[in-house]
Structure 1
Amino acid sequence: MGRHAHASGDELLTDWRTDRLGAARRGDNPLVMAKLNSGYAVFGDTQHLPGYCVLLSDVDNADHLTDLTRTQRADFLADMGLLGEAVFAACNGFDPAFRRLNYEILGNSLHHLHAHIHPRYSWEAREFRDAPVWRYPNEVRFAEEHDVLVSPKAEEYDQLREAIAAELARLA
């Protein structure tokens, strides 16, 4: 993936990032790792905390967890746990400074149900380590050096993405 993406960076930016779920359904989102029961396990396009992933619900018009039936909700939360288990295993082998995972369902900016899985590390600065990820300034979170498609670390991010995808396949 990373620097080896077949489409140009501009093509990818104008296509899949504007409709992440639609792109996942069409097979156009290059960061989809797996289709799970409730949605798509996606590697985050920014990796300021390596291993960051998102679970996109595959239920149309679901904005809140409560928009799902109880069965769909149970599937979504189980898949969030499954993705977390895969991220935990991969990050644990990737960086000895890995500490824990944070799970979040927010929906404040993207109004389609999704869950964030944030790995946390002991190398994080103290003012961020024990706080929500959203305390990081946007210029840090979305810096080009953390973009999986253009970063000099693209191949390293690819290896981590592949490790998480392999764990998902093993667990499923």
Structure 2
Amino acid sequence: MRHHLVMIDWRLDRIGSALRGENPTVLARLPGGFAVIGDVQWLPGYCVLLADDPAVQRLTDLPRAKRLAYLESMDRLGEAVERACAEADPAFRRVNLEILGNTDPYLHAHVWPRYEWEPPEIVGKPVWLYPASKWRDPASALSEQHDQLRAAITRYLTG
């Protein structure tokens, strides 16, 4: 009987893979969790703050001190994205921070950079109004073309 080693996609266990050092999107470990760059980059610089415990589903699941550490880490990631994106693109406008929890069952915060070049009917509205196809478009997948922006965000997080 032959045994086959099955590689489990890190996307199926984002927090566990980050804890094991196997999540390639991790930018830095912060007091409140893992700062990761998004799998998709249709808004360049998109990042997520993952709680470091997959059992934590809501911000209110954390004791007060850990809750404040998570929010402080979200603030740090937001500022790093803001600084890196403003440096990289003069059309950068602002950063939107969101904790939603409607799809994935673990605590995470979205950090969305927003740009002047976005479609006028969406630029002042939530990113969730973009078509769902944006999440699957290979042209906007995280790739080497995002390395410079990724490095800048990491530098602002850790510097």
- TM-score class, shorter-chain normalisation, is over 0.9
Change (3 A) 1:76 1:104: same
Q: Residue 105 of structure 2 aligns with which residue?
A: 111
Q: Deviations over 1:51-101 (max 9, x none)?
A: 000000013411011101110110000000000111011000111000000
Q: Residue 51 of structure 2 aligns with which residue?
A: 57
Contact 2:59-2:67 at 8 Å conserved across structures = yes
Q: CA deviation at 1:165?
A: 0.5
Q: Distance in 1 between matches of 2:47 and 2:57?
A: 19
Q: CA deviation at 1:156?
A: 2.4
In the alignment, structure 2 segments of 5+ residues that lack a partner are 1-6
Q: Residue 148 of structure 2 aligns with which residue?
A: 159
Q: Residue 88 of structure 1 aligns with which residue?
A: 82
Moved more, 154-163 or 111-120: 154-163
Q: CA deviation at 1:158?
A: 1.1
Q: Residue 42 of structure 2 aligns with which residue?
A: 48
The one-letter amino acid paired with 1:102 is: N
Contact 2:15-2:53 at 8 Å conserved across structures = no
- Name the TM-score, length of structure 2 as normaliser: 0.93
Q: Distance in 1 between matches of 2:123 and 2:55?
A: 34
Contact 2:16-2:54 at 8 Å conserved across structures = no
1:16 to 10, 24, 28: 10
**Secondary structure of residue in 2 paired with 1:126:** coil
The one-letter amino acid paired with 2:89 is: D
Contact 1:48-1:142 at 8 Å conserved across structures = no
Q: Residue 68 of structure 1 aligns with which residue?
A: 62
The alignment covers a number of residue pairs equal to 153
Q: CA deviation at 1:140?
A: 2.1
- Name the TM-score, length of structure 1 as normaliser: 0.86
Q: Distance in 1 between matches of 2:19 and 2:53?
A: 11
| CA RMSD across the alignment | 1.1
Contact 1:39-1:57 at 8 Å conserved across structures = yes
Moved more, 133-142 or 89-98: 133-142
2:29 to 30, 35, 39: 35
Q: CA deviation at 1:15?
A: 1.4
